[in-house]
């Protein structure tokens, strides 16, 4: 079985497109088999994008587990002065992400990284619809590593399903970050903000 958080070079390609309307703009995304939410904008990512309040001081943003680029591309279009970087382990998703940058007329930095393994700088904002199915240890490491890759007063924004441990996620984040807030509940998803001081 193929998972979106793994590379499967044997998976046959069947490219498709779908559209997203947000912030009074239309976006078109190329997608394919073997990527997360291949034929629509998933509810969690929608909730995260719709409720994410980029701090006014923020100049840089990292999208961890970016997939085909939906979150990063929409945020770049809405915040054109933001320096957006997108990382993922799935090479097919990254190739589509690069195409989707061109398709939606934005420029973000896109490269392969297993979570933070190839990230060597810090950011004002980190966003993620984390790959919960990789397991709690992996996800908790993501939260710890995000803290190390945030500038002072930087923020981590994530979305987690209530039934996949959103409440325990808030408790865990509170052991690392100086400020943690449940920003929004949306159709079983919790949008959470954690700030470094």
Instruction: Write down the residue that tokens 């078109």 correspond to.
Output: 28
Q: Is residue 1 part of a domain?
A: no
All residue ranges of the chain with pLDDT < 50 are 1-4
pLDDT, position 36 = 82
Q: Is residue 7 part of a domain?
A: no
Q: Is residue 121 part of a domain?
A: yes
Beta-bridge partner residues of 83: 60
Burial of 167 (0-12, 13-18, 19+ CB in 10 A): exposed
Q: Is residue 2 part of a domain?
A: no
Closest CA to 33 of 64, 65, 63, 1: 1
Q: Is residue 184 part of a domain?
A: yes
Q: Is residue 29 part of a domain?
A: yes
pLDDT, position 3 = 44
Mean pLDDT, all residues of the chain: 94
Per-residue pLDDT tens digits for 131-151: 888 899 999 999 999 999 999
| Structural domain total, the chain | 1
pLDDT, position 1 = 36
Those residues with Cβ within 8 angstroms of residue 52's Cβ, 6 or more apart along the chain or in another chain: 75, 127, 157, 191
Q: Are strands 109-112 and 60-64 parallel, antiparallel or unpaired?
A: unpaired
Q: Is residue 32 part of a domain?
A: yes
What kind and span of H or E run contains 193?
strand 189-195
Q: Domain holding 160: CATH number?
A: 3.40.50.150
Per-residue pLDDT tens digits for 55-73: 999 999 999 999 999 999 9
Beta-bridge partner residues of 19: 28
Instruction: Write down the residue that tokens 């976006």 correspond to.
Output: 27
Q: Is residue 128 part of a domain?
A: yes
């Amino acid at each position: 079985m193929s998972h979106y958080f793994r590379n499967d070079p044997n998976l046959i390609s069947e490219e498709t497109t779908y559209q997203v309307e947000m912030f009074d703009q239309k976006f078109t995304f190329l997608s394919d088999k073997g990527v997360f939410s291949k034929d629509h904008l998933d509810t969690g990512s929608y909730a995260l994008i719709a409720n994410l309040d980029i701090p006014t001081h923020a100049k840089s943003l990292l999208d961890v587990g970016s997939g085909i680029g939906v979150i990063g591309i929409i945020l770049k279009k809405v915040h054109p002065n933001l320096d957006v970087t997108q990382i993922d382990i799935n090479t097919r998703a990254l190739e589509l992400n690069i195409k989707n940058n061109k398709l939606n007329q934005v420029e973000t930095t896109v490269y392969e990284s297993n979570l933070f393994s190839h990230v060597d700088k810090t950011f004002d904002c980190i966003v993620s619809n984390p790959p919960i199915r990789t397991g709690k240890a992996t996800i908790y490491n993501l939260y710890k590593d995000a803290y190390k890759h945030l500038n002072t007063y930087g923020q981590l924004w994530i979305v987690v399903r209530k039934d996949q441990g959103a409440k325990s996620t808030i408790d865990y984040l509170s052991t690392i970050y100086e400020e943690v807030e449940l920003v929004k509940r949306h159709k079983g998803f919790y949008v959470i903000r954690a700030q470094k001081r």
